[in-house]
Structure formats: structure tokens, C-alpha cells
Amino acid sequence: MKEKDIIKKLATTAKAEKEELISILASEDKDTSDLLFASARDTRTRFFGDKIFAYGFVYFSTYCRNNCNFCYFRRDNEHTIRYRKDSEEVLAIAKELADSGVNLIDLTLGEDPSLHKEGFASMLDLVDEIHDRINLPVMISPGVISDELIEEFARRNAEFYALYQETYNRQLFKKLRVHQDFDERMHAKIKARECGMFIEEGIMTGLGETEEDIADALLAMAKVKPSQIRVMTFVPQSGTPMAEMEPQDHDMELKIIALMRLLYPKALIPASLDVEGIEGLESRINAGCNVVTSIIPPTSGLAGVAQSTMDVNEGYRTVAGITPRLNALGLRVAEDDEYKRWMKEAW
Ligand code: SAM
Ligand code: MD0
Ligand code: SF4
């Protein structure tokens, strides 16, 4: 089948064979990509209208026991600024984010040994405090945690568990997430889903993966029944083994976003401000995203992940910063009760 017919089939059936996905990923034809993005936007409008959800990002500990080769916060990176925010600081930041109009608070951290030591007691309490005092849903991004802890976070009603596989190519996974277990990471997501949490799955591009790897990932991620799916282009980080790797342009990320939209029409798909900052917002939204992530208060002293400082102090990674840009595209930041309604209907 020709690429354009594959896209039409995808838009009506949400189905494609692996070879078909590969041919779209490999295509360099402008008409094909224009049709791909237009179909993705149509699909988003069909399921979400003009609503875009906004997530506040609280990276509250940058300590990590792991050594992922791509990550600025890996254990052995001596360039990293390490900090750990206490609960009162996190709550003050979450309140500021809520007042600014975000729909969810994403509590993210490295696999901080001191949190593991205390059994995540302070983070579990934070989930309760955000629910009680701030009344917003919570996403947790703690990395891989035990089944018992997943059960405990689920008991506290943490709504979302984000844990990205990065790749479904096991050899590549081993090179990236050194000394980590592919199956253990998959298991944590399946377990969390069984306990009643929404799952965010994700991949990275620009790591030397093939188009076949990407197509495999797009199809295989269905296994974890994700409600939110993402792709981010790898951004080389100083002080890491991959610091000198040639960065890839963002075209592949945009194509993957659009394919995600067509394969998983009801999914939440983030446009991360953490890759290209605010300048990268429009292209990602135009590829079919319906969430903006990595909104960070300018004076909070918090870091991003892939772009730890870009646009943060300038105040561009804020709801006020994204609103005019979304409005110019005929879109708007959703209200909290619209997000809560999505959660009810999506389960
Ligand atoms: N430590 C937890 C974990 O690894 O699951 C939570 C941190 S999570 C926010 C880190 C995610 O950011 C990674 O899973 C990866 O997808 C993304 N990321 C990290 N470093 C990146 C980089 N240099 N470029 C692009 N994305 C990156
Ligand atoms: C983002 N930097 O939203 C964040 C991060 C973690 N749940 C999300 C990758 O882009
Ligand atoms: Fe740690 Fe997560 Fe970075 Fe890996 S990606 S080094 S687990 S913070």
C-alpha cells in the first residue's frame, strides 16, 4: 500500500502492520508528512475538541542510584546540580502550579537512595497532601519500585504512574539503562495498571534506534495498556558517556507523535517543553499532541530533565507562556473538571 493509503487506513481503523509503520517513518515526502499531521490533528479534534491538558512538573530530587547513559542526573555525573526539596517546599510549588492553571502535578525524581531507605514515606504523604490541600490529580515518576510500594501508592489514589521503557529493543535498552532489567520495568507498569493506576509509557528517539525498533515499540506498548504515551528526542548531556553524540533533528519525533495519535486515538500525548522549550510547542501540537508537560515555576529552583534550565527562569515554561500560543492555534488549556471528567471516562 502507498504511504497515503496507509495513513487513510490508520485514520479510519487505528490499525497498521509493522511494515506499514516503517514505510511512513522512512518516508521523506512532504505531502505524506503533511497528510500524516493533518490526520493526527483531525483525530485529536474528534476525541478532544479544542482542549489541551497542562501538567506541572516537580522534579524534587535529582539524586539517583542509577547510571543511565543518556541522563544528566545519572549517579556518576559530576556536573549535575543535586538537590532534594522538602515536603513543604514541594507543596508550596504545587500550590503555585495549581493556581497558575495546571491540571495535574507530576512528582518526579531520580531513584534517590534516601527515599528508598525511608520506604518512600515522605512521597506517599505528599500524594495525600496534594489531594487534600491542592485538589489536583498526581502523577508519580519514581522509577522502578517494588510491588508493595506500587500497591501503597495505589491505595493513596496516586492517579498516574509514569515509567518509560525508552526502547523495546532489549540490546539497546541494556546499553542505555545499564544494569537495569527490561522485564522488571515492564512488570512495574503492568502491576500499577492492575492496581488501578493510569500508566504513561514512553520512548526516546535519536539514540541510534532503527525504524523497525520504533515500529516495534509503537505496537508493543499496547501491552501495558497506557493511557498516556510519549516520545522525546534525545538531548546530549554534559558529563555523560553520550555527551558527544550528534543530536538528531526533531522530524522523527513529530512523525512518531502523529503515528501515536492515529494508533491510539484516545491517548493523552504530551508535547514536552523539555526538548526544545517553548519554541517546540507548536510543531508538537500540530503533530497531534493534547497535553503540555514540563511546566515549571520560574522561581522554584526546579530542574527539567532533558533541558534542565532552558526557558525556566525566563518564565516561558508556564501556563501563561503556553496559553497565547495554544489560543493562536484555536486551542485552549482545559479546566480541572474537564481533566477529571477525562479520568472518569477513560478508565
Ligand atoms: N528516574 C525516573 C525514571 O528514570 O523513570 C524518573 C525520571 S524520568 C522523568 C526521566 C525520563 O526523561 C527518562 O525516562 C527519559 O525518557 C527522559 N530523558 C532523560 N534524559 C533525557 C535526555 N537526555 N534526552 C531526552 N529525554 C531524556
Ligand atoms: C516532561 N521533563 O514532562 C518531563 C519528564 C516525567 N514524568 C516527565 C520527562 O517532559
Ligand atoms: Fe536515574 Fe531516571 Fe536518570 Fe536513569 S533516567 S539516571 S533512573 S533519573
* Cβ 71 under 6 angstroms from ligand 3: yes
Is the CB of residue 273 less than 8 Å from the CB of residue 281?
yes
Residue 148 pLDDT greater than 90, yes or no? yes
Could you report the per-residue pLDDT of 157-169, keeping only the tens digit for each? Answer: 999 999 999 999 9
* Cβ 304 under 6 angstroms from ligand 1: no
* Alpha carbon distance 341, 347 (integer Å): 10
Residue 18 pLDDT greater than 90, yes or no? yes
Ligand 3: which residue has its CA nearest to atom 7? 66
Q: How many domains, the chain?
A: 1
Could you report the per-residue pLDDT of 260-271, keeping only the tens digit for each? Answer: 999 999 999 999
Is the CB of residue 236 less than 8 Å from the CB of residue 244?
yes
Provide the sign of the torsion angle of the four alpha carbons 287, 307, 318, 201, taken in this order: positive
Give the residue-averaged pLDDT of 274-297: 98
Mutating to test ligand 1, I would choose from 57, 149, 232 the residue with most ligand atoms within 8 A of its C-beta, which is 232
Q: For residue 50, what pLDDT is reported?
A: 98
Question: What percent of the chain is predicted at pLDDT more than 70?
Answer: 100
Q: For residue 287, what pLDDT is reported?
A: 99
* Cβ 110 under 6 angstroms from ligand 3: yes
Per-residue confidence band for 1, with pLDDT thresholds at 50, 70 and 90: confident
Could you report the per-residue pLDDT of 25-40, keeping only the tens digit for each? Answer: 999 999 999 999 999 9
Give the residue-averaged pLDDT of 97-116: 98
Mutating to test ligand 3, I would choose from 62, 80, 111 the residue with most ligand atoms within 8 A of its C-beta, which is 111
* Cβ 162 under 6 angstroms from ligand 3: no
Mutating to test ligand 3, I would choose from 60, 66, 163 the residue with most ligand atoms within 8 A of its C-beta, which is 66
Residue 193 pLDDT greater than 90, yes or no? yes
Give the residue-averaged pLDDT of 220-227: 98
Q: For residue 276, what pLDDT is reported?
A: 98
Domain range enclosing 319: 3-346
Provide the sign of the torsion angle of the four alpha carbons 66, 280, 236, 76, taken in this order: negative
CATH of the domain at 188: 3.20.20.70
Q: For residue 300, what pLDDT is reported?
A: 93
Ligand 3: which residue has its CA nearest to atom 6? 74
CA-to-CA dists, residue 298 to 51, 55, 58, angstroms = 25, 15, 12
Give the residue-averaged pLDDT of 146-154: 98
Q: Which residue has the higher pLDDT, 269 or 347?
A: 269
Ligand 1: which residue has its CA nearest to atom 8? 141
* Alpha carbon distance 281, 216 (integer Å): 27
* Exposed/middle/buried for residue 324 (C-beta within 10 Å: 0-12, 13-18, 19+): exposed
- What is the DSSP code (8-state) at residue 227? S
* Cβ 304 under 6 angstroms from ligand 2: yes
Residue 207 pLDDT greater than 90, yes or no? yes
* Cβ 150 under 6 angstroms from ligand 1: no
